[in-house]
């Protein structure tokens, strides 16, 4: 176990280092002089450019700059936003709560709706319900979040006037009320994905010999189902990394669609404004969360599933 964990940990660190290198290179990838880009809309007098070059050590060799930047990141210093002149960490701290609330709300809806539906569809494979929900899932996975969001906004926000149209509300219950439409929009695509994963996993397990054996031994349907579900949940949990990736991509679009001031809309705004330090920070943060999720999932399945343990140690 320890050897496996250390190996996976090392791989994650290497992956994150590679990502951080690419993220740092973004500054130099953007067209134009990095110093001018970092200066943003401020007047670019020769003195200002010189001081920016000194502040960001732009005259040092590339690797030196990267190591210095990485050192800062490790110590929690993500640099200064060009647009607002505030430390990036402050900007992120202001907005992270809303994004986490939105993401967890959507995630909760997804798990509560898609997992039971997936199990139900797989147990009645080929039925009208199964086919109906499967078609809906094919459409849902590929549906454009922003278009669905705007149409929901029109129907429930403008036409029926049930839900608030824009913004994040006053906090407390009002906040959650404002998040209903965005979370449902986000959960639509995510739920379709989780439904597909669950259905495939349960179907795969139902096909196994041990199910036929358990049935022929006279185990009740409920007992068989308990066996199947336990095994089927492993691939579902394993794809959590994929699900989180989907969730992050979707959050950007949903936050922009519903004018929510979260991390996603901050990223979209910063890209348009070429606020490179903020873009670097958010990209790196997202990659870190996804990589750590993948690591946690791997360790979990190693601990929970004896088959995985056997495969990796053999």
Partner 1 sequence: MKRPSLTPILCAVPLTVVVVCAIGAHWLAADATEQDVLLGVVPAGTSGHLFGTDQLGRDILQLGIAGARSAVVGPVCIALGSMLIGVVLGTFAGYFGGWADLALTKYADLLLALPTTLIALVVAGLVDGGYWVTVLVLVVLFSPTDIRLVRGAVMTQAARPYIESARVLGLGRLRIMFRHILPNVLPVALATMLLNVAFALVAMSALSFLGLGVGPGEPDWGRQLSDGRDLLGRNAAAVIVPGVLIIVTAAAINLLGDWLQERSVERAGRR
Q: Write out the residues near partner 1 by the rule CB under 8 A.
A: 15, 18-19, 26, 29-31, 126, 135, 138-139, 141-148, 150-151, 153-154, 157-159, 165, 241, 245-246, 248-250, 252-253, 256-257, 267-268, 271-272, 274, 276, 279, 283, 286-287, 290-291, 294
Q: How far apart are CA 222 and CA 58, in angstroms?
A: 66
- Least separation in angstroms between CB 141 and partner 1: 7
Q: Which is nearer to partner 1, 228 or 294 (CB)?
A: 294
Residues 52-61: b if buried by 16+ CB within 10 A, e if exposed:
bbeebebeee
Shortest distance in whole angstroms from residue 221 CB to partner 1: 25
In whole angstroms, the minimum distance from the beta carbon of 138 to partner 1 comes to 5
Query: Whose Cβ is closer to partner 1: residue 116's or residue 144's?
Result: 144
How near is the Cβ of 46 to partner 1 at its closest, in Å? 25
Name the phi and psi angles at 125, rounded to 5: -55, 135
d(CA 251, CA 189): 11
Q: CB–CB of 24/69 below 8 Å?
A: yes
Compare residues 12 and 89 and give the one whose CB is closer to partner 1: 12
Longest Cα separation, the chain: 85
**What are residue 280's phi and psi, to 5 degrees?**
-60, -45
Indicate the residue among 186 and 228 with the shorter CB distance to partner 1: 186
Of 179 and 290, CB closest to partner 1: 290
Query: In whole angstroms, how close is the CB of 158 to partner 1 at the nearest point?
Result: 5
> Which lies closer to partner 1 via its Cβ, residue 37 or residue 231?
37
The C-alpha atoms of residue 235 and residue 196 are separated, in whole angstroms, by 12
In the bound state with partner 1, the residue whose beta carbon lies nearer, of 166 and 177, is: 166
The closest of 225, 208, 234, 236 to 307, measured between CA atoms, is 234
Q: Could you give the CA distance from residue 208 to residue 121 in angstroms, rounded to a whole number?
A: 18
Output b/e per residue, 172-198; b: 16+ Cβ within 10 A: eeebeebbbbbbbbbbbbbbbbbbbbb
Supply the minimum distance, in Å, between the C-beta of residue 23 and partner 1.
9
Compute φ and ψ for 305, nearest 5 degrees.
Answer: -115, 110
Q: Which CB sits closer to partner 1, 30 or 108?
A: 30
Minimum CB separation of residue 217 from partner 1 in Å reads 31
Least distance from partner 1 to the Cβ atom of residue 69, Å: 17
For residue 40, is it left (φ>0), alpha (ψ between -120 and 50) or beta?
left
């Amino acid at each position: 176990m320890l050897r496996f964990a250390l190996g996976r940990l090392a791989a994650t660190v290497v992956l994150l280092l590679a990502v951080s290198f690419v993220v740092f290179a973004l500054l130099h990838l953007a067209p134009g002089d990095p110093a001018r880009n970092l200066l943003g809309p401020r007047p670019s007098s020769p003195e200002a450019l010189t001081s920016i070059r000194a502040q960001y050590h732009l005259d040092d060799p590339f690797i030196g700059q990267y190591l210095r930047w990485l050192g800062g990141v490790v110590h929690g210093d993500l640099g200064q936003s060009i647009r607002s002149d505030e430390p990036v960490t402050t900007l992120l701290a202001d907005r992270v709560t809303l994004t986490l609330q939105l993401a967890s709300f959507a995630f909760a809806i997804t798990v509560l709706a898609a997992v039971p539906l997936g199990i139900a569809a797989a147990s009645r494979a080929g039925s009208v319900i199964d086919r109906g929900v499967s078609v809906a899932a094919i459409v849902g996975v590929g549906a454009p979040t922003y278009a669905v969001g705007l149409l929901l906004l029109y129907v429930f926000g403008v036409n029926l006037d049930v839900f608030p149209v824009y913004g994040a509300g006053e906090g407390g219950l009002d906040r959650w009320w404002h998040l209903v439409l965005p979370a449902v929009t986000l959960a639509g695509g995510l739920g379709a994905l989780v439904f597909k994963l669950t259905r495939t996993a349960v179907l795969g397990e139902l096909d196994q010999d041990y199910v036929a054996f358990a049935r022929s031994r006279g185990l009740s349907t409920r007992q068989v189902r308990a066996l199947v579900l336990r095994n089927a949940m492993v691939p579902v949990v394993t794809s959590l990394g994929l699900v989180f990736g989907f969730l992050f991509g979707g959050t950007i679009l949903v936050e922009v669609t519903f004018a929510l001031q979260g991390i996603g809309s901050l990223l979209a705004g910063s890209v348009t404004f070429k606020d490179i330090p903020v873009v670097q920070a958010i990209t790196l943060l997202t990659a870190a969360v996804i990589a750590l999720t993948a690591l946690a999932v791997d360790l979990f399945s190693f601990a929970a599933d004896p088959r995985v343990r056997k495969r990796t140690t053999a």
